[in-house]
Amino acid sequence: MAQQVAGYMVDGVGRLVPVESIKEVDLLRNGLVMELMKRAEEMAAILAEFKRTAMEDIQAFIELSGEKYGANLGGSKGNVQLLSFDGKYKLLRSMDETISFDERLQAAKQLIDDCLKRWSDSSGVEIRTIINDAFQVDKAGRINTKRILSLRRIDIKDEAWQQAMQAISDSVQVVSSKAYIRFYRRQADGIYNQLNLNIAS
């Protein structure tokens, strides 16, 4: 990328372009984008700092409240809801985790396939469809984690099936965790509306 030089501006491919050769509308557009971007970055920094301190304050309160009862209220990973005394305001801290599966998922798939073969015609078309759909991958080659985990809710007493469900549970790996904080105000009808802190929405 070219260095900034007095009297020149760098274009989209890194070339130095004399300012006098740039159309006025292009200069005005650039000025608008740069000014708004600067203000947006400042606002993003303010929101990031607010989120950080709000999370710390909520966690400190949870720990303080828990100390009074000798309990761990939600811990650092749990979802926690806090209400104002009059119930008009509500804060919700939630932790969303992204999960994947390790090689034990393949062992679970093999056990499930063995079950289907052994059950033969006694297993309904519906259960076969659910299982096959669960292990389908999307265009990016990813497995739908919700479908895989939903198999554990199917009540089948077969020992091999139970082993497969345990293999699925054991194969779960948390690859990332993201914290969210949401603010709500109760309306006259009693419904809580979320305070919008997301400029994109």
- This prediction has a pTM of 0.59
Edge-to-edge strand ranges of the sheet holding 89-101: 80-83, 89-101, 172-186, 192-194
Q: 54 and 95, same structural domain?
A: no
Residues 97 and 185 in one domain: yes
Residues 16 and 106 in one domain: no
Given a contact cutoff of 8 angstroms between Cβ atoms, the answer to whether 88 and 186 are in contact is yes
Q: Are residues 107 and 156 in the same domain?
A: yes
Query: Do strands 80-83 and 16-18 pair parallel, antiparallel, or not at all (unpaired)?
Result: unpaired
137 CB-near residues (< 8 Å, 6+ apart): 143
CB 131 within 8 A of CB 144: no
**Domain carrying residue 52:** 1-73
* Total number of domains in the chain: 2
d(CA 145, CA 86): 40
Q: What is the CA radius of gyration of the chain?
A: 27
- In a shared domain, residues 48 and 118: no
The answer on 192 and 98 residing in a single domain is yes
| Average of per-residue pLDDT across 13-32 | 94
Together in a domain, 26 and 99: no
Percentage of residues in the chain with pLDDT exceeding 90?
Answer: 39
Tell me the pLDDT tens digit for each residue of 74-119.
555 578 899 999 999 999 998 887 888 888 888 888 888 888 887 7
**139: pLDDT strictly greater than 80:** no
10-24, 117-131, 134-148, 176-190: segment of lowest average pLDDT: 117-131
Helical segments of the chain, H only: 24-67, 104-119, 125-134, 145-150, 159-171
Q: Are residues 165 and 86 in the same domain?
A: yes
For residues 50 and 4, membership in a common domain is answered with: yes
Does 9 lie in the same domain as 81?
no
Chosen domain end from 56, 73, 90 = 73
Residue that finishes a domain, picked among 73, 89, 113: 73
Whether 60 and 122 map to the same domain: the answer is no
Pair of tokens at residue 14 = 């890194």
**Cα 150 from Cα 127, distance rounded (Å):** 12
Structure token pair of residue 29: 């557009």
Q: Are residues 149 and 50 in the same domain?
A: no
- Type of residue at 55: M
Could you say which of 29, 58, 73 is where a domain stops?
Answer: 73
The size of the chain, in residues, is: 201
Per-residue model confidence as pLDDT tens digits over 163-172: 999 999 999 8
